[in-house]
Chain A
Amino acid sequence: MSRSIIQCQDVSHSYSGKLALKRVSFEIIAGEPIGLVGPNGAGKTTLLSILCGFLMPSSGTVTILGHKPGDSRLCGKISALPQDAKFDPAFTIGEQLAFLARLQGFEVEQSRQEAERVLEAVALKQMLSAKPDTLSHGMAKRVAIAQALIGSPELILLDEPTAGLDPVNTRNIRSIIMEQAKNSTFIISSHDLAELGRVCQKVLLLENGVMSPMQHNVAETEGSTGFITLQMEACAADELMKALQELKGVIQVSNPQKNEFLVEYLPEKAPQMDIEILTCLAKRHWHYRQLTRGKSLEEKLFFTD
């Protein structure tokens, strides 16, 4: 799986003269899930809508699996969770999912089974005969995710898949993505950076309609220095920073937010910095909440000098 599935070249889009996307160019290779992040109004939903074929770009070219978005040859190969899309209130969930499966080429009986399968995947099989207006917001979101799982699409675009979901269902959706990612490439737009950090290997950053020139790799270290993010229980920040600063190999310690510390160090001088930090904390009877190698995705994307 190393072929290009999405190619965007100088894609721009404007709403009533206001530019929402400015000459966005990028290429996505089939494989691990990719995150799409950016502040509100950055153009994420616009970009996903263009990729799905719901919107025509004002200029530029988009190719998905070798075809233009919306091309009938993409039927069944691409699926999506569109933001705020709702099902028809006149029909049951099962009828509508089976109908969508039929449109993808399933036979009558297979389409019913497929509707059951995808509803089971989002733990909503009992809602097969329910009407959409009887579902809560979270349930409706999961049903919309279920429709994106019909068949075996090569590319699945999810716009805010975990927004409004409870932690149990967020975890459930995460495991569905991880499982399906063996066969499909996911592009996930979300504000939940912690969630994206868990699922995605690469992240695209969109700000004010402009795509960041580089794709951020979630796991990789930055240059010759290493980072450790430390979350503490309530503690004296000054004392802790002083103690950490005294450790061998530490370049600097910062306190980006309350009870969270970012330690920058030289890995060749202190290859076991995590152990040293934990030892330091243990000596002073300080309690930590979480210790993570590397910067948080939030730090990496938005607060890198």
Chain B
Amino acid sequence: MRPNFINHNLLICQFELKRLFATRKGWLYLATYFIVWYFILFYPIRYAADLLDEHRSSAHAGSFFEFLGFGSLLDWSIPAFGVYWHFSLIFFPMMSVAIAADQTCSDRERGTLRFLALRVSRNGLFFGRYISFMVIQFLLILLTLLATLLIVVFRDASLFFEAFNNASSILINLFLVLLPFTALMADLSATVKSARQATVWAILIWSFLAGIISALSSYLPVLGQLKILIPGYQLSRLAQLSEWETLQLAYIPVLQAIILLIIGRWIMQRQAL
């Protein structure tokens, strides 16, 4: 039986997961990721959470954190997740730009994509790879959240349900936050020749898009609304929200991802393989 679009996406997804979990290169990525997160969890997150725990009832502490711009940390019922949330809003988008930069470009340059394109439609290839990278990032976030959950529960087992609730809200939100970042990298990967070029272009596009829109909005303020097109536009506002409130801005990354995926599909249909 000829596989359909969904079967192809699932097969591509399985293969990309195998690349991460069953190849030497994948293990190297995972080892690096876990070492980085080991240090983040056991130093900044744990100590910041301790500090917040000790001082959260004090009015001075509240104003101190407000002064630093981290007042929203105190809104989280479990401070460790508040700190995790702030870290992850910077870490994961950067990680997404790095790891999702090579969705199709090196395979296209090597010619491997030709073997695949004889069996899968270009839509299947583009969306299959995009979904794969979203699943991989979902799993990586999940693992770090589980580690944070374990740290919290290890210190106070009665916080399990509260911690689970916080972790769930972060998992869903981070997944949504990464949708447009991964979609932008999918578009660039379908256009350029290497992952490095895709990363450089991503940085340039962010910088210039933000600069151009800011410049234009100084002449015509209504154009400032175009900032909504920049992936990550909502991150500073997201950092001020806590737990399930963060879903208030979910429409922004979803909208951005849809627009970027439509553009990416258009590029992929016309690209020479």
Establish whether residues B112 and A85, one from each chain, have CB atoms under 8 Å apart when the complex forms.
Answer: yes
How far is B111's CA from A88's CA once the two chains are assembled, in angstroms? 9
Chain B positions within 8 Å of A99 at CB level: 11, 15
* 8 nearest A-B residue pairs (beta carbon): A85-B111, A103-B119, A72-B121, A54-B273, A82-B114, A85-B114, A90-B23, A86-B110
Establish whether residues B115 and A70, one from each chain, have CB atoms under 8 Å apart when the complex forms.
Answer: no
Chain B positions within 8 Å of A73 at CB level: 2
Decide if A87 is an interface residue (CB 8 Å cutoff). Answer: yes
Residue in B8, B23, B115, B116 whose Cβ sees the most chain A Cβ within 10 Å: B115
Establish whether residues B119 and A100, one from each chain, have CB atoms under 8 Å apart when the complex forms.
Answer: yes
The residue of chain A having its C-beta at the shortest distance from the C-beta of B15 within the complex is A99
Decide if A119 is an interface residue (CB 8 Å cutoff). Answer: no
The residue of chain B having its C-beta at the shortest distance from the C-beta of A92 within the complex is B23
Chain A binding surface SS class: loop
Q: Assuming the A-B contacts A91-B23, A103-B3, are A82 and B111 also in contact, with contact meaning beta carbons closer than 8 angstroms in the complex?
A: yes
Chain B positions within 8 Å of A75 at CB level: 2-3, 118-121
How far is B15's CA from A88's CA once the two chains are assembled, in angstroms? 12
Q: Assuming the A-B contacts A56-B270, A99-B15, are A88 and B3 also in contact, with contact meaning beta carbons closer than 8 angstroms in the complex?
A: no
B11-23 Cβ-contact flags toward A at 8 Å (1 or 0): 1000100110001
Task: Report B126 CB to chain A, min CB distance, Å.
Answer: 13
**Which positions 67-118 of chain A face chain B at CB distance < 8 Å?**
70-73, 75-76, 78-80, 82, 84-88, 90-91, 95-96, 99-100, 102-105
Q: Assuming the A-B contacts A75-B120, A90-B19, are A85 and B270 also in contact, with contact meaning beta carbons closer than 8 angstroms in the complex?
A: no
Q: Assuming the A-B contacts A52-B114, A54-B114, A75-B2, are A102 and B121 also in contact, with contact meaning beta carbons closer than 8 angstroms in the complex?
A: no
Establish whether residues A103 and B8, one from each chain, have CB atoms under 8 Å apart when the complex forms.
Answer: yes
Task: Report A160 CB to chain B, min CB distance, Å.
Answer: 13
Task: Report A131 CB to chain B, min CB distance, Å.
Answer: 10
The residue of chain B having its C-beta at the shortest distance from the C-beta of A80 within the complex is B118
Some 6 contacts from A to B, beta carbons below 8 A apart, are A54-B114, A55-B273, A70-B117, A78-B118, A82-B114, A100-B116
With A75-B118, A96-B115 known, 17 other A-B pairs at CB within 8 A are: A52-B114, A54-B117, A55-B272, A70-B122, A71-B121, A72-B5, A72-B120, A72-B121, A72-B124, A75-B3, A87-B112, A90-B19, A90-B24, A91-B18, A91-B19, A100-B119, A103-B3
Chain B positions within 8 Å of A95 at CB level: 18
Chain B positions within 8 Å of A189 at CB level: none
Residue in A56, A75, A76 whose Cβ sees the most chain B Cβ within 10 Å: A75
Establish whether residues A53 and B117, one from each chain, have CB atoms under 8 Å apart when the complex forms.
Answer: yes
Task: Report A63 CB to chain B, min CB distance, Å.
Answer: 17
The residue of chain B having its C-beta at the shortest distance from the C-beta of A101 within the complex is B119
Task: Report A32 CB to chain B, min CB distance, Å.
Answer: 23
Q: How many residues of B contact A (CB 8 A)?
A: 30
Q: How many residues of A contact B (CB 8 A)?
A: 33
Q: Which of A76, A82, A84, A90 touches B119 (beta carbons < 8 Å)?
A: A76
Chain B positions within 8 Å of A54 at CB level: 114, 117, 272-273
B69-111 Cβ-contact flags toward A at 8 Å (1 or 0): 0000000000000000000000000000000000000010011
Task: Report A276 CB to chain B, min CB distance, Å.
Answer: 52
Decide if A147 is an interface residue (CB 8 Å cutoff). Answer: yes
Chain A positions within 8 Å of B117 at CB level: 52-54, 70
How far is B116's CA from A102's CA once the two chains are assembled, in angstroms? 11
Decide if B36 is an interface residue (CB 8 Å cutoff). Answer: no
Decide if B55 is an interface residue (CB 8 Å cutoff). Answer: no
Chain B positions within 8 Å of A76 at CB level: 2, 119
Chain A positions within 8 Å of B107 at CB level: 88
How far is B19's CA from A79's CA once the two chains are assembled, in angstroms? 25
Establish whether residues A90 and B25, one from each chain, have CB atoms under 8 Å apart when the complex forms.
Answer: yes
Chain B positions within 8 Å of A144 at CB level: 115
How far is B111's CA from A80's CA once the two chains are assembled, in angstroms? 12
Decide if B1 is an interface residue (CB 8 Å cutoff). Answer: yes
**Which positions 249-302 of chain A face chain B at CB distance < 8 Å?**
none
Establish whether residues B111 and A86, one from each chain, have CB atoms under 8 Å apart when the complex forms.
Answer: yes
